[in-house]
Chain A
Amino acid sequence: MKHIKIKLLIAAVFMFAATSAFADYSYNFSVNTSSVAGQPGYVDLMFNPGDNSLGSATATITNFNTDAALGAALLTGGATGVLPSTVSIVNNALNTNNPYNDDFQQVTFGQNMNFSLNLSGAAGNSFMLYFYDGTVSNSLLTNNLSSGIATEIDMTKNGAIVTNNSNQVTVSATPIPAAAYLFGSGLMGLVGIRRKMKN
């Protein structure tokens, strides 16, 4: 009986980790900005909840490097940090005083832009990457002029969904952290069971 319970617990832990509403995803972004090189504009890193957000989540942008000239940043809502340093965006609830959470940063585009993105926390939140021209009259580097979004990553209960609307953006998942999370959470579960059995 005890063994069956343990197996069930282990299975539950793994299932929780695998399909959890709380997960961790990492991606590498590579953006070819040569078509707009030399132009003034903006890069907009946004992370917002949807109606079905299941809790807190954070988007962290690291390893940002570019040959572009970066300018002033306008941080709104849950955004902290300024590129090229680490930018962290918490999924604060949207309201009149907090219409969105983003780092809206001035840039004179170069040939490329690269960064790493980590999304951690609850499902029901989305990261969005936008590019604008210098007067914020036109969206750049996107095929979806309606939304203006170049690349979007949605955190769902069934995993992350990447929607790339840009021919200039290459986004690739870096699965190791997720696997590590899975392994780690499973390991933590086993340790917990072990302790319970000892007691």
Chain B
Amino acid sequence: MNTIMKKALTSLVFVLAFAVCSTAAFAGILKRPYLIYPGNNTTMEVLWQDTATETTNTISWGTDTTYSLGSTAVSENNSSANQHIYTITGLTPNTLYYYQVTADGNPADGVYGSGSFLTAPAANATSVQFIGLGDTRTQPNALDMVEAEVNKVVAANPSYQGLAIHDGDWVATDAETDWTNEWFSPNMADSIKFLSQVPVNGAKGNHEDDGGYSIYFPKYYPFPWTQVSQVGTKGSLPELNNFFWSFDYGPVHFTIVDQYSEQKTVNGQSGTSGPSVGSTQYNWLVSDLTAASNNPNTPWKVLIYHEPAWNSGTHTNNLYAQQIMDPLVKQYNVDVVYTGHSHNYTRCGVYSTQTTSDSIAPNVPYVTEGDSGAPNDTVDLTNTTTGSSQGWRHILLADETYSYMTFDVEGKTMTMKAWSVIQSNGAPVVGVTNTSTAPSYTSVTPTTSVPIETVVLNHFTDMTSQVSATTTGYGYNRVSKLYTTNLTITNNGPALTGNVDVALNGLVSGVTATAAIAKNNGLTPGITLTNATGQNNGAPMITASTSGLASGASITIPLTFSTTSGAAINFTPVILQE
């Protein structure tokens, strides 16, 4: 080896040593990039956290992976150690963007994460899709499994990428370690991918609560709260409360309540909390729902809070939510109440044709999505005790497998689907142990999603008061084993135009409730309208006319039913004009 060769090799060694040293100089990533939708369709908030102080981290973004639209260095967030927050502005609504976070703007020095996001649709959009999660705490491996399924949904239909809502209990406790090892676990590749591509907006749960305030929940999810208050400090971090806020996403207005900003005892129920009538949050809530009701761009209203007014156990029904929130749900025609707390999927509700002495708002689905990772809670379909917070008496359907939801708004119709995550062979997921070091569910993979139920909500006009309906006696066809009847509707009022539908309240598609629950709800389980053309809030619906119904005119349509329960067919026709 000659001298020149030796010098060249020596130089190369030096260069390599410098390269290694310069790479090693960067701290590394502790929480890979994740997203918050700040409620503006031209912005997106990207957050990440280093393992040590760094001031050179750079975010670049664009409409493809050349990230050519913008690039900027992002220093640490002042109050949060090693955390970086950057809000990308000037974006185009309903557009897919790609972004990359690097240590110093040079990918060769370290890529801390990359992903994509979909900006929110135009304010006057009538179509939108989003994901629903809740109670993701304690089992990051189960959460990873659920989020792997959500990633499949997003891959199949990128319009779901724009938003996920969360009803609280993100992590086991409001501690740094739980945020690091659960929600942001570095070992869960599907969770990391999910967080990198779907902004998550949501409510605080009781597990993020520390005596009415939180430290790490607002550190990692600094949503644009309406009136957040600092109640003290812990180390260098502020102790905050009043995490209530709202945002619009296309035609949907989301109102998020903090049930822990005031500690209240309602009717002696221990642990019941929430803002009282006249409090700052309550007044904001009234003002927010009023504004949303008056906004023609947001015909859909979703109310999100953690502890449900109505659920299937094991937690009690929240009396505060019943007494304070239910009247507002009725007054402002909230379309969906979205909660968690109990670790299962449950839909509670009553129909306007039923009588009930309690506060539940008729025709409103009270959804509990509390099983997106937390240990499953057994549902109780038998306790129909009235007047008790433990009387889970308004259950329409309950499922205790790991789950998530998809929402699809198309004009006057919102389709909510609850999905169960099971093994591909159809068996339930078992053996998911509580670990943050490895996704133990891989022992049961591949997994798949199967629908728990589909509920369709319609913003149609109820014309029942002016349309009478009668059925003929039921026939029974021994060949088809179907019951038949003819339903005649007569318009006793002004002419109706367009599609005229009949919803058969009392027959609830897919009801799994026990006879006790069904009886308590005045519902008929196990009966299917086999010639249904649609659905209205879980009740089968059939289009009677596509060309209106003149004043004084009648129309007769055949109805056919199958029954698995043998129960009598009993329904109340509700006439809807589309």
A-side residues, CB < 8 A to B, are 42, 44, 46-53, 91, 93-96, 99-100, 102, 104, 124-128, 130, 132, 136-139, 146-149, 152, 154-156
A146 touches B484 (CB 8 A): yes
A52 touches B471 (CB 8 A): yes
In the assembled complex, the CB of B528 is this many whole angstroms from the nearest CB of chain A, namely: 16
Which residue in chain B gives the minimum CB-CB distance to A157? B470
B473 touches A50 (CB 8 A): yes
Judged by a CB distance under 8 angstroms, whether B88 is at the interface is: no
A49 touches B477 (CB 8 A): no
Q: How large is the interface on B (under 10, 10 to 19, 20 to 34, 35 or more residues)?
A: 20 to 34
Nearest 4 pairs between A and B by C-beta? A126-B473, A148-B477, A50-B471, A96-B566
B567 touches A96 (CB 8 A): yes
B475 touches A48 (CB 8 A): yes
Give CA–CA (A72, B475) in the complex, Å.
22
Q: Known: A94-B568, A147-B484. Contact between A138 and B470, CB under 8 A?
A: no
Which residue in chain A gives the minimum CB-CB distance to B573? A51
Which residue in chain B gives the minimum CB-CB distance to A123? B470
For B475, give its contact among A138, A149, A156 (CB under 8 Å).
Answer: A149
Q: Known: A124-B470, A146-B560. Contact between A50 and B485, CB under 8 A?
A: yes
Judged by a CB distance under 8 angstroms, whether B476 is at the interface is: yes
The interface centre, meaning the residue of B475, B486, B568 with most chain A CB atoms within 10 A of its CB, is B475
Set of chain A residues within 8 Å of B473, measured between Cβ atoms: 47-50, 53, 91, 124-128, 154-155
Set of chain A residues within 8 Å of B565, measured between Cβ atoms: 96
B-side residues, CB < 8 A to A, are 470-480, 484-486, 558, 560, 565-571
For B477, give its contact among A52, A93, A139, A155 (CB under 8 Å).
Answer: A139
Set of chain B residues within 8 Å of A139, measured between Cβ atoms: 477, 479
A selection of 19 A-B contacts at a CB cut-off of 8 Å is: A49-B473, A50-B472, A50-B485, A51-B470, A53-B473, A94-B474, A95-B567, A95-B568, A96-B565, A96-B568, A99-B476, A128-B473, A128-B475, A136-B478, A147-B477, A148-B475, A148-B480, A149-B477, A152-B475
Give CA–CA (A128, B486) in the complex, Å.
13
Set of chain B residues within 8 Å of A137, measured between Cβ atoms: 479
Which residue in chain B gives the minimum CB-CB distance to A133? B479
B472 touches A130 (CB 8 A): no
Interface contacts (Cβ under 8 Å), in number, total: 92
Give CA–CA (A27, B343) in the complex, Å.
62
Set of chain A residues within 8 Å of B470, measured between Cβ atoms: 50-52, 124, 156
In the assembled complex, the CB of A50 is this many whole angstroms from the nearest CB of chain B, namely: 4
Give CA–CA (A152, B474) in the complex, Å.
11
Which residue in chain A gives the minimum CB-CB distance to B571? A51
B476 touches A100 (CB 8 A): yes
Which residue in chain A gives the minimum CB-CB distance to B477? A148
For B474, give its contact among A48, A104, A156 (CB under 8 Å).
Answer: A48
Give CA–CA (A146, B559) in the complex, Å.
10
For A132, give its contact among B471, B472, B479 (CB under 8 Å).
Answer: B479
A152 touches B566 (CB 8 A): no
Set of chain A residues within 8 Å of B568, measured between Cβ atoms: 93-96
In the assembled complex, the CB of A22 is this many whole angstroms from the nearest CB of chain B, namely: 16
The interface centre, meaning the residue of A46, A104, A148, A156 with most chain B CB atoms within 10 A of its CB, is A148
The interface centre, meaning the residue of B474, B484, B568, B570 with most chain A CB atoms within 10 A of its CB, is B474
For B472, give its contact among A42, A94, A138, A154 (CB under 8 Å).
Answer: A154
Give CA–CA (A128, B477) in the complex, Å.
10
Give CA–CA (A149, B558) in the complex, Å.
12
Set of chain A residues within 8 Å of B478, measured between Cβ atoms: 42, 44, 104, 130, 132, 136, 148
Known contacts A47-B473, A104-B478, A149-B484; can you find 7 more A-B pairs with CB under 8 A? A46-B476, A94-B568, A96-B566, A132-B479, A146-B480, A148-B480, A149-B477
Set of chain B residues within 8 Å of A96, measured between Cβ atoms: 565-568
A94 touches B569 (CB 8 A): yes
Which residue in chain A gives the minimum CB-CB distance to B530? A146
Set of chain B residues within 8 Å of A128, measured between Cβ atoms: 473, 475
Set of chain B residues within 8 Å of A52, measured between Cβ atoms: 470-471
B475 touches A51 (CB 8 A): no
In the assembled complex, the CB of B14 is this many whole angstroms from the nearest CB of chain A, namely: 87
Give CA–CA (A51, B527) in the complex, Å.
15
Set of chain B residues within 8 Å of A50, measured between Cβ atoms: 470-474, 485
In the assembled complex, the CB of A48 is this many whole angstroms from the nearest CB of chain B, namely: 4
Set of chain A residues within 8 Å of B474, measured between Cβ atoms: 48-50, 94, 100, 126
The interface centre, meaning the residue of A51, A53, A93, A127 with most chain B CB atoms within 10 A of its CB, is A51
